[in-house]
Structure formats: structure tokens, C-alpha cells
Structure 1
Amino acid sequence: MKKAILSAISLLIFSSPRAKEGLWLPPNLIDRQNDLEVSGLRLPIEKLYNPDGTGLNNAIVLFGSGCTAEVISSKGLLLTNHHCGYGTVQGLSSVKNDYFANGFFAKNNAQEIPCPGLTVTFIRKIENVTDKVLYYLPDTMKNKIRDSIIALRVAAVEKDYEKSTGLDATIKPYYNGNQYWVIVTETYKDIRLVGFPPNGIGKFGGDTDNWMWPRHTGDFSMFRIYAGKDNKPAAYSKDNRPYRAKAYFAINTSGYKEGDFTMVYGFPGYTQEYISSYQLKQVYDITDPIRIQARSIKLDIWKNNMDNSRDLFIKYASKFAHIANGWKKWQGEMWGLTTNNVIDKKRAYENKFQQWANDQPAKPYAGILPAMDLATQAVNDAMRNDEYIKETVLGIELVQQGATLDKMLQCFRSKMPVAQLQDTLKKLCNKGFYKNYDLATDKQVFRALMPLYFSNSTGMPAYYSRTYRGYNKNFAHWANDVYRRSAATGIDKMEALAEGAQAGDSTKILADPAWKLYTAVTEYRTKKIVPLMQRYYNKMNTLNRLYMKGQMEESPRHDFYPDANLTLRLTYGHVKGIDPDGPAGYSYQTTLDGAIAKDNPDIEEFKVPEKLKELYKKKDYGRWGVNGTVPLAFIADNHTSGGNSGSPVLNAKGQLIGTNFDRVWEGTMSDYYFDPSVCRNISIDIRYTLFILQKFGGAGWLLNEMKLVKN
């Protein structure tokens, strides 16, 4: 009877509540053809992925280092999220050219703005090379030896692929190192800004609405890929031409209805669906709560100061959005883990797994879970202390700049000639940091976060406790002195240090309080915490690899997919509304009506631009109007993660109907546990994107290069 109950629990965990989940590797979609077609796919499976250049994989790019974008014209036009382009546009903005307040829409190719440092990467081919990497490697081989052999084999196989294709090749592990796949890529480096709506559209609702549904955010931006005359990647040049795309998405302007089949194709960043209850408890008890606590304090200070200064708002907008995004997500994650009793569900499965493993004496599975239990208990205190260091002390920008001072110190110690020393130090001054830095704001953060560290640390550098006593345990006095004396508080001070540098001037850095704070805490981590954590992670890498393999053997009928690792995946589901707290009448779609209803000129996050209000008042929607309004956003039950921001949302024919930009707050635990009753991805309707582009931005010329279709 007990075994029957445990089997039922396992079936419940691995089937019914997780039926719609999955982040599928494109080459393996052929194995899911039947399920895709039953779900609604009306496109030949080989059109989704093939390595000959015509598959839809060739119309999707990794945008920068953590988002997705899609090619929507034969001339290399890219569509992604507003928040994906936010950091790039911040670097292009100023008080004079305030693209956050006013937006930007090029009226022709000549007006498109180069974006230094921005890249996009195409995935040309993905192949399973597990046999070439893992042949004759026993599962129980010592980890250090096993890893060194794998590293040598990976390097050799990557080199072979690069030689045979003439492209870049990277091999990544999947299923916790039980499989290896090579990814052949092509990266373009001349990317230019084409369209970026103002924050009143692209960031409408701000952090209040972030992760929430209903949603009314026009979260899109447009860029263009430029290439050399041979259509290959090239550094920026005025002679470059728009990239000639063999594959790009047709845009369906007929819309959708609830229940319609959808796909999301992109680069999900990180999931841990198969970890043990012991590791999940660390997330629930340690990392998420500490991050939420520390970032709440920092964000309150930043927001108050940003609200009172437009200049400071521009400086901190991108940083604030980045910090706040995780802060709110982790709160939803904890809510979802609690509501779904995920830790208890994992424990129930682990009991069943342990019984199965005990019956497999010839296999290395019986000791895995007990070893995980012991390993996590042994490291929890160090993990807690480290998390407080990273979120408090190293969350202070001036302390972070101690790293720059430390690099300067190494230059002094290298005994290079004075002229070379001065030139090298100037290059290290980090002007980009100071462009977006405010000393007074950072001092407030210091005064708020240092007490949090002191009250929660179970061990700290002797320099910290000694210095704290030296200021009579007064954090305000300590902050005043640090920010008065440190050279790292301003670019003028840093450049003065560099320009007048002489061989013996290293004493200036050794006496700098920001350098002392940085080096004291990093040395403490290096000696007291990092070795413990590294041993733990090494041990858990082995245990997780074996546990993953064991789960796949224990439940052979379950469709296991590899955890997200910022590689190309396809997920599919259906347009579907949500009632997270019971019947609520939430629709699957929002419209411009809802955005106008939220308009509040006194609150920056909810201030609708005047031009958009005029268009609404006149009902001047052009071809994008539907039933007297414009469809704005919709939700579906596709399994997405961070990195899917900007991903194309496709209909059954593989045509673009929207751009993914968020998840609902109630379902953010999907990185650890996918519950189809509450997990929803949020997308901007392509019709709203085109309405804003044409009627608000006056960039209707771009429609001429798109392939617009109807059902």
C-alpha cells in the first residue's frame, strides 16, 4: 500500500500539474511532432529548426548577453523588449536627448543610431556531441579527473567545429552534465537603434505593475543588424549595409482568441526544475529572503532620489530596473513555492526515489540524497553570511569601485615606466561608471546597508569591526569620512590620481578607505567563505549529475527536458487567462482602454504621453483598431524564464503575433516548479507594437519592409 501511495505521488508530481511545461531543444522537436500537432501546430516541423539556413532558428538572436530578439524583415530589422534595450538606450541618452521621456523613432536608415558594444548572435546549428565528450567516462570517476578530461575533449571538439564551419562553436552541458551539445553561432557587432517608445509606453506601470496581470506595458524596441558588403559580421562602419536575412518572421495581424495554440522561441536563462528539496530550501530560507531584504532598502533610497531629480533618474534608471526586477520576482517566487507546497512535494518524490534507489545496489544512487542533506547543512551558515556580504557591502557602489583601485594598485606594483603607468591608470578610471553615479545617493545606501550587514553577519573582517569601533559605532560618521576621503568618489579625483602618478604613489591607494573596505571583505570571502562554497558546489555538481540521471532512470515514461542555460529553446501552450485566487474574471487580453484608465499625470509610472491620449480621444488607430480600441497585451501558459524577454510569440503557422516580456507574479516559481494553473507568460500584442510604431512614432515607413499577413 505504501509503495502504491508513493507511486501515485510521483505520478502527480511528474504528470498532471506539470503537463504543459517544457523548454525543448530545437533539434529534438521532431521527437515531439505528434504532441505539437495535437496541441495545434500547423507548420512542418523542419521549419522550426534546420541547419541549412531556412529554419526559423535563423530568425532568432541572442540579444546582448541575456535577452532574445527576432528578425522581422529581410533587411535585418529586429524586434525585442523595451527593457532589453534599456541599458543600451541609457548610454545614448542625455538630458538634451532624453529618449526615456521622449522616445526615439528613426525616419530613415540614416537616422538609425549606432549602439557601441551591443551584439546579436544567431544559432546556425545545434548538435549532440555527448558521445564525443563522455565516452569511457564512468559516472563515479573522481570529479577533478573527470572534469579535466571533459575540458580537453570539449576544446578539441569545439576547434573541429570551428574549422569545419568557419563559425564560432561552444559546447554546453545539459541535464546537469549527462549530455553535451555543440552550438554553432554567428555574432554581429554593428547594431543600430531604430525605435524606442518613451517610458510612458514602454515602461508604463513601472515597477508597480512589473510581474503583474492585467498589464498595459508597450514593452518593445527595435534595432537593425548591419553587416559588411559580404553580409558577414563586421565592426561598425558607415559603409556597412543592413543585414540581408534569409529567414525572418511573417507578422500575422488577425490576432488570436483564448485557446489558440502559441509557441515561444528564445533563450530562457536559468531553471532548476530537478534540484532536491535541500537545495530548494536554501533558496527559500536563505538567498531569496536576504536579497529581498537588502534590495528593499536600496531601492527605497534610489527611488526617492530619482523622483526628485531628472538627471539622477536618467543615471539610475537602468540600474534600478535591473535590481527591482529580481527583487519583485523573488517575492513572487517565495509566494508560489509556499502556495504550492513545493518543498513538501519534492520530499514526497524523494522518499519514493530513495526506495527505488535502495533496490538498485549496483548503481550509485542510494547515497545521493543523504549526501545532499549533509552537504547543505554544512554550508548553510557560510551561504547566509556570503549572501549578506554580496547584497549589503558589495551592494554599495563605492565599495564596488574598490576593485578599480585594486587594479590600479597592481599597476603601481608592476614597476612600469611612469609614462606607461599614467596612461594605464587613465584607462582604468572607468568614466562610464561615473556617468551614472551619484555620490550623495550612494552615501545614503552605505548608511543603510552597513547596519544591516553588521546586525546579521556571523563573521566579518577584523578591519570592519575595528573601524566601526573607531567611529564610536556611528555609521553616519563612518560614511561621511569614507566619501570625503576616497579617490573613488568622482572621476576628477580618479583622473588626478592617474595623471600625477609616480612610482611611489601606491601609498595613496593603500590609504584609501574604499580600497580598504573592498579588499578587507574580498580577502575575508576568499579565505573564509569561497573555499567552503567551492567545495560544496563541486560536490553538488557531482551529486546533481547523478541525481538527474537517477531520476531519468526511475521515471522512464516522463518527458524530461534540460534545465534552461541561455541556449535556444522552444516552448508551447495556448492563449489562456488566469484566476490565481479563484474566479476573478481576469481576461486573457488587455487593451489601450485599460492603459488610458490607469493614466495618472502625478505618478511617473502611470503617466500616459499626451500624443497617445490624443490618438485615443480621436480613435485614430488606423488599421490596428479592434472593437473601438487597440489590443495591447495577452497571456498564455507557455513555460518561460528570464532570457525569454523579447522572444517571438508565434501562432500555429509560425507567424509572429506578439513579443514575450514577462511572467505573472503568481507563477514566478516556474524556475523551480511549473504549475499550469497559475504559470503564464505575458506578451505585447504585435498590433499594439505596430500601432505605436506607425501612429505614435511616425515610423510607418518600417511597415513597408515587413511581411504582414492575415488568417
Structure 2
Amino acid sequence: MRKALSAASLMMLMGLAQANEGQWQPYQMPQIADKLKQSGISIAAEDLADLTQYPMNAVVGLGYCTASFVSPKGLVVTNHHCAYRAIQYNSRKQHNYMRDGFLANTMGAEVHAGPSERLYVTESVTDVSDKVRSNLPEDPLLRYRALEDNRKALIAECEADENYRCSVPSFHSGLEYYLIKQLIIRDVRLVYAPPKSVGAFGGDIDNYEYPRHAGDFTFLRAYVGKDGKPAAYSEDNVPYVPKSYLKVNAKGVSAGDGVLVAGYPGATQRYRRASELKFSKEWLYPTQAARYQRQLDTIAEMSKDNEEVAIKYAGSVASMANRMKKLNGLMDGFRATDIVGIKQQQQAEFAKWAQKDHADVLVEVEKLEQLLAQKRDRQQTDHYFENAQSSALLKTAMNLYRWALEKQKPDAERELGFQQRDQKMFTARLKRLDTSFDAKVDKALWQMDIEAYLAQDHRVPEFDALLEENTEVPLGERLEALYALSSLRDQQARLDWMNKDVAEFESSADPFIRAAVSLYPVIEKQERLEKTLWGELSKARPAYMKAIIAFNKEQGKPVYPDANRTLRISYGTVDGYRSADALYKQPFTKLEGIVAKHKGQEPFNAPSRLLEVIAKGDMGEHKVEQVYPNRQSWMCRFISCNDAQPSFNSVPVNFLSSVDTTGGNSGSPILNGKGELVGLNFDSTYEAITKDWFFNEEITRAIHVDIRYILWMMDKVDNAHNLLDELELVK
């Protein structure tokens, strides 16, 4: 086993290696302009800060991934795994696009990506901290409600035009709030997706690993009404004309080049306390990983000889497998590096700093730790209780009943997620259930979660009482009866429930509706406890973060908010890394690596057409002679050098860089120093997974699809010349 790197050793590294750390808000780019120039980024920092200008106005969100416009006709490129839902939505036994891939040779052949697919174009980000945090009461529950009311008022004003979606996320744990205004594009279509054997070549085995050879890309297109405004899917809609679109640099990048990534990273915890990390390391992550493994095993067994089930759960399986491997990587990373020790040492230095001139801060820290202890207890209870409600039909029933309850209130007083603004997406989710649900699989997964709940001590008495009904009948049979008797398996029945009032729910004979009504009081009670705790933390966290920011600035450390699914920019260098003793991983992989890995069966089963083109040596203008032009200044850090430079003579498939990314950055455009598209982010290396908690520049690398491989696939393998003609290629 590799010896764990001590906290003291890592703290020494931290002082030397922070150049590429930071998931920066766009407005912060001028603050680091000198660092951008040092990294070879020539595009002006002021241009990166301006969301109305190229290239930032070409970067869009999917709600869970990132994408970017690449043509004046609304063509969008993202990862294959980010488009799973769109590919799955259109796959059937007779045309399995997951297995075979999809290409529309004309716009008329492009297919609807699904009722819940959206593109979000961020148009403005405004600091509203004073408006959100003004006149807050001391009572924690009232404080929570006041914060929510202030945010909802800002959102309602921003969404006066129904074509926009607005949000007010917190930054630095509630110290700051920003109003995010995004144009919503509701008609998204699938244009071109390679087969899964290309997009996910290597499957779960290669997930987070390197060297990598995945063609993780897919093209979508944004459509709007004939008036140019966002509209629901209609055959009469026309392609959206973006304000700008990314130029595509067909020459790509070389080792040592500076690069940027722009996207919507999900969540990091770099400013969290050591006690929070310790809890995640010792309880939360192992518990979550074990559950994912049970779910994956069950779905694999039930879909083994059932292609229809396999298609329905393809997206869920990919998502769970990715999360499980990430959790395992986090746990392995914690064993290899004493990050808890690093956090504790950082906190000791912070405490020493505070004792000099900020002693009151230490009192606030003690209050925060007491609240975090309460939070950990709540997390354990919530984890098992929420999982025990995991049936897709039960969750649907609960959401429908909550919708009926919230409808009784004025719209401004409803819970977020149940306001009038949410109706279209709520309806879309009800419709989409048909494409990702199988009663037998859902029941099997739910039963496992209930059994896990019953086997532990964090119980909810009201839920126990519900489970104790008819205990003379085995649990599996009781659950099966619920599915047999429920009307919620029918899409129209689900949609009809949206228009019913509370009394109709409370008199319903549908078993899932009855369960939802019975459980609501305890769920409401649990929510009240969580909101009260959140209200307490909304005082303690910002006070702590204000002190942490002051401390970090004095230490010369980068100060940027933890990721929270808002638009961020990171910069770095195309670079390999030393993954273990005597093992250096070079930054580029090539076509020949696909052939070397190919075994003729999943997950290393490359399409025959791709293998044939490689065998012919048909690389065309996408072939690269050299990707290591500055060998003396770059690779000689790790191996002995001479004047001879290693030739490449192939098409680059994937490459590494030191940009700072996390989940949500999937599909993010990788830009060269001029702001031109050179690749797509799609993964991190296994050693880098712990970067959500701690950024170590020596081993933190992100994995990208090289634009030259994408262009080669379009040109030589899939004959997507209609799409190539749309791109603005820089050669």
C-alpha cells in the first residue's frame, strides 16, 4: 500500500504549488490577469469577465453539465455522458442509439432531446448580498424564512419575463449572494452522438483512470420559436442564433500550453472544517458507496437479459457508477494523503492568527462546531429516512401532494420548487418517468433501502408505524401490492393529479397517494428541524468565512468561493503528472491506444468502422507530428532528456491539464490562450478526486477529449460533414 503523505509534507507543498488553484467567478479574472499571462493566456481578462462578450456568452449550462455553442445555427457540443438522457429518451429496441450512435444528416432529422432538457445561457450576475441579508431576525427558523423570502422576491422580479430563469445562490457559505439571470431554451434536440462504445470507451473500468481513450462528446441543437424567443418543442421552431459561438482550433494544443476551462462546477468543500471532512471520510462516503454498489448489482442482474430495462436505466447506471467510483476514490485519496491532518494544521494556524487580534472569532468557531455536531446527527437520520422513500412512484406521489398543498398559498409564499415558475419543469419530470422506470426494478431497489433503514438505529417513529402495518405479510409482497394497485404508473393519471385539490388526495385509495399523505406530517416536522438548524448555520458560517477570507488574504492564498453550480473559470497548463513512484503519465493519448485496449467485448469494444479507419492509417489533416515541442522545459522535470524530441504521428484522443474542475464541469469547453475551443472536459484522474476538499497541484489533473479526435471522428469515421461545415475552424 502506498504510504500516506503526511499533513506536514503537504503543507510544505501548498506553499509552492497554488498557481492553478481556483474556480474563479468571471468578475474576478482581472484580479488574476498577471497569472493568466504567465500561463500563456493572451485573451484579455476583462473580456473573460464580460458575460455579454466572446467567449463567455457561448458557454451554456444544462442544469447538471456544461456545454457551448459552436455554430451560428445553435449547434451545441457537450459530453456524451451529459447527453445520456437525450440519447436514452430516443432509444428503443428497434433503434438503440445508446448502442449504435445517432447522426442527423439534416436539421429535419434531428430529434427531440426530451421534455425536461434545457439549455441555460447566463446573461448577468449581480451582487445582491445586502438585499438578501437585510433585516434578518435572530430566531433561526424566522431567519431561514426571511432569507428565503428575500431570495424569492428577487427571483420573482427577475423572472417578469417568462423566458428567463433566475436564482440567488449563496457564495462563501452565505456571506455573499448573487442574482443569476439565465435565458432558458426549452427546445433542445439530439444531433450527433457516437456509440456508447466510443463515448464511454473503457466504461466503469477506465472511469477516473488515465491513460484514457474516450470519445466523450455529443452535439445538440437549440431551437426557438419563429419570433426568436424560447418556446416549447414544436416542429415549426427554428434554430436559435446565439450572440456568439466558439471558434474551433483544429490544431489543438501541445504540452506546456496554457488553457482555460469555463463551466458550471457542482460543489467543493475546500473551506469546510476538519470535523466535516472526518465525518464524510468515516461514515458518509462509505455508506453512500455501499448503497450505490447494491443498486448497481441489482440493476445489472435485472437487466442482464432485458434490453428494454437496460435502456431505461442506462443513465441511472452511468450516474451511480460514476458517483460510486468517485466516493471510492475519495476514500482511497484520504488513505493516501492525510487531508484531515492538513485541515487540522490549517485550523491550528488560523486559530493562532485569530488569537492575536480576532479572539471573538474563536468563540464563533466553537458555536459552529456545536452546530456541525447537530448537523451530523441529522444527516444520519435523513440519509436512511430519505432512502426509505426512494420508490419513484412514492416520490412522485409525495411531490404531487406537496404541489396540491403549496397551491393553496399565495405564489410568493410557496416553497421553492413548487411555485408557478416550476410548473413546466414539474410537468416535464412527470412525463419523463415513463422512459426511466420499470416497476420490478424500482420495487427491488426500494425494498433494499427499506431493509437498510430497518437495520440501523436512526429511526423515525412515524415511518416505523407505517411499516408495521400488515407485518404478517412479507415486505416484498406488501410492496408489490402497492405497485399493482397504483394508477401512477400511467402518465396521464400522474398529470391529472396536478389539478386535484388536497381533499381529493386525502380521500384517495391509491396506495402511494395514501402513503404520501400519511408521511407528510413527519416530513414537515423534519423539514422544520432542518430549516431551524440551517437558520443557525446562516449566522455561524458567514462569520467564520469572513475571518477565513481575511486570514487567507494575509497568507497570500487564493480566495475564491467553493463551487456551487454557478459559472466559473479556471486556468492551467497542458501537463502530465507523476501518479506514483517511478510512474509518470504523459499528457496525450493517441488512436493506437484504442486498438491496444480493444478486446472485442464491453467495455473495450471499439466499433469496427473506427478500427478499420485506424488500420488504414487514414488520419488526414488531423494527424499531429509533435505534441511535445518544449521537451527540455517540460518533460525533463521527470525523465532524463537529450536533444531528440519524441514524435507523436497520430491523432490525439485525450489529454491532461492542471485546470481546477469538479462535477458539473463535464462538457465544459477547454479553450486555448486565444479563447478558441481545443477540447471538452469530461473527467478527473483518480489521484485528483480529493480536490473537492484539497487542491494539490502536483497530482491534480483533469481529463479532456481532444478536439482533433472529435474532428477526426466527424470527418473520417461517421461522415458528419454537414456539421463540420457549420464549424468555424481555425487551421
Q: How high is the TM-score relative to the length of structure 1?
A: 0.85
Counterpart of 1:328 in structure 2 is 325
Counterpart of 2:45 in structure 1 is 45
Where in structure 2 are the equivalents of 1:676-691 lying within 5 Å? 676-691=697-712
Where in structure 2 are the equivalents of 1:148-187 lying within 5 Å? 170-187=167-184
Report the aligned-residue RMSD. Answer: 3.7
In the alignment, the residues of structure 1 paired with residue 22 and residue 385 of structure 2 have an alpha-carbon distance, to the nearest angstrom, of 35
Deviation of residue 472 (structure 1)?
5.3
Where in structure 2 are the equivalents of 1:104-119 lying within 5 Å? 104-115=102-113, 116-119=115-118
The verdict on how the C-alpha distance between 1:109 and 1:493 changes in structure 2, with shifts beyond 3 A counting, is closer
The verdict on how the C-alpha distance between 1:541 and 1:60 changes in structure 2, with shifts beyond 3 A counting, is same
The verdict on how the C-alpha distance between 1:113 and 1:14 changes in structure 2, with shifts beyond 3 A counting, is same
Counterpart of 1:71 in structure 2 is 69
Q: How many equivalent pairs are there?
A: 679
Query: Deviation digits for residues 332-367 of structure 1, max 9, x if unmatched?
Result: 122223322122221222223233333446x74121
Amino acid at match of 1:620: D
Deviation of residue 221 (structure 1)?
0.6
Give the conservation status (yes or no) of the 8 Å contact 1:405–1:509.
Answer: no
Deviation of residue 256 (structure 1)?
2.2
Deviation of residue 540 (structure 1)?
2.2
Q: Could you tell me which of 354, 365, 369 is aligned with 1:369?
A: 365
In the alignment, the residues of structure 2 paired with residue 648 and residue 492 of structure 1 have an alpha-carbon distance, to the nearest angstrom, of 37
| Deviates further, 502-511 or 679-688 | 502-511
Deviation of residue 469 (structure 1)?
8.6
Query: Deviation digits for residues 158-194 of structure 1, max 9, x if unmatched?
Result: 6777789996654433222223333333222232221
Counterpart of 2:390 in structure 1 is 395
The verdict on how the C-alpha distance between 1:244 and 1:476 changes in structure 2, with shifts beyond 3 A counting, is closer
The verdict on how the C-alpha distance between 1:10 and 1:127 changes in structure 2, with shifts beyond 3 A counting, is farther
Counterpart of 2:675 in structure 1 is 654
Give the conservation status (yes or no) of the 8 Å contact 2:462–2:519.
Answer: no
Deviation of residue 146 (structure 1)?
6.1
Deviation of residue 254 (structure 1)?
1.6
Counterpart of 2:715 in structure 1 is 694
Give the conservation status (yes or no) of the 8 Å contact 1:439–1:489.
Answer: no
Counterpart of 2:241 in structure 1 is 244
The verdict on how the C-alpha distance between 1:652 and 1:405 changes in structure 2, with shifts beyond 3 A counting, is closer
Counterpart of 1:87 in structure 2 is 85
Query: Deviation digits for residues 37-63 of structure 1, max 9, x if unmatched?
Result: 012112222332325x33311111112
In the alignment, the residues of structure 1 paired with residue 70 and residue 344 of structure 2 have an alpha-carbon distance, to the nearest angstrom, of 46
Deviation of residue 561 (structure 1)?
0.3
Where in structure 2 are the equivalents of 1:520-669 lying within 5 Å? 523-527=521-525, 529-556=526-553, 557-603=556-602, 605-626=603-624, 627=648, 629-669=650-690
**Percent identical:** 28
Query: Deviation digits for residues 229-260 of structure 1, max 9, x if unmatched?
Result: 45443444444332333422111122322222
| Deviates further, 637-646 or 112-121 | 112-121
Q: How high is the TM-score relative to the length of structure 2?
A: 0.83
Give the conservation status (yes or no) of the 8 Å contact 1:178–1:545.
Answer: yes
Amino acid at match of 1:101: R
- Secondary structure in 2 matching 1:330: helix
- Secondary structure in 1 matching 2:725: helix
In the alignment, the residues of structure 1 paired with residue 162 and residue 457 of structure 2 have an alpha-carbon distance, to the nearest angstrom, of 52
In the alignment, the residues of structure 2 paired with residue 29 and residue 68 of structure 1 have an alpha-carbon distance, to the nearest angstrom, of 20
Amino acid at match of 2:700: C
In the alignment, the residues of structure 1 paired with residue 604 and residue 469 of structure 2 have an alpha-carbon distance, to the nearest angstrom, of 46
The verdict on how the C-alpha distance between 1:466 and 1:580 changes in structure 2, with shifts beyond 3 A counting, is same
| Deviates further, 187-196 or 233-242 | 233-242
In the alignment, the residues of structure 2 paired with residue 497 and residue 124 of structure 1 have an alpha-carbon distance, to the nearest angstrom, of 36
Give the conservation status (yes or no) of the 8 Å contact 2:667–2:682.
Answer: yes
Deviation of residue 466 (structure 1)?
7.6
Query: Deviation digits for residues 290-349 of structure 1, max 9, x if unmatched?
Result: 211112111101022223221111111112122222222112122223322122221222
The verdict on how the C-alpha distance between 1:204 and 1:149 changes in structure 2, with shifts beyond 3 A counting, is same
Q: Could you tell me which of 185, 191, 194 is aligned with 1:194?
A: 191
Give the conservation status (yes or no) of the 8 Å contact 2:21–2:558.
Answer: no
Deviation of residue 96 (structure 1)?
2.0
In the alignment, the residues of structure 2 paired with residue 611 and residue 664 of structure 1 have an alpha-carbon distance, to the nearest angstrom, of 29
Counterpart of 2:297 in structure 1 is 300
Residue ranges of structure 1 left out of the alignment (5+ in a row): 1-6, 414-426
Counterpart of 2:437 in structure 1 is 437
Query: Deviation digits for residues 213-233 of structure 1, max 9, x if unmatched?
Result: 222211111012223445443
The verdict on how the C-alpha distance between 1:46 and 1:55 changes in structure 2, with shifts beyond 3 A counting, is farther
Counterpart of 1:204 in structure 2 is 201
Where in structure 2 are the equivalents of 1:273-288 lying within 5 Å? 273-288=270-285
| Deviates further, 270-279 or 236-245 | 236-245
In the alignment, the residues of structure 1 paired with residue 391 and residue 161 of structure 2 have an alpha-carbon distance, to the nearest angstrom, of 47
In the alignment, the residues of structure 2 paired with residue 149 and residue 399 of structure 1 have an alpha-carbon distance, to the nearest angstrom, of 31
The verdict on how the C-alpha distance between 1:428 and 1:149 changes in structure 2, with shifts beyond 3 A counting, is closer
Give the conservation status (yes or no) of the 8 Å contact 2:273–2:343.
Answer: yes
| Deviates further, 104-113 or 371-380 | 371-380
Counterpart of 1:124 in structure 2 is 123
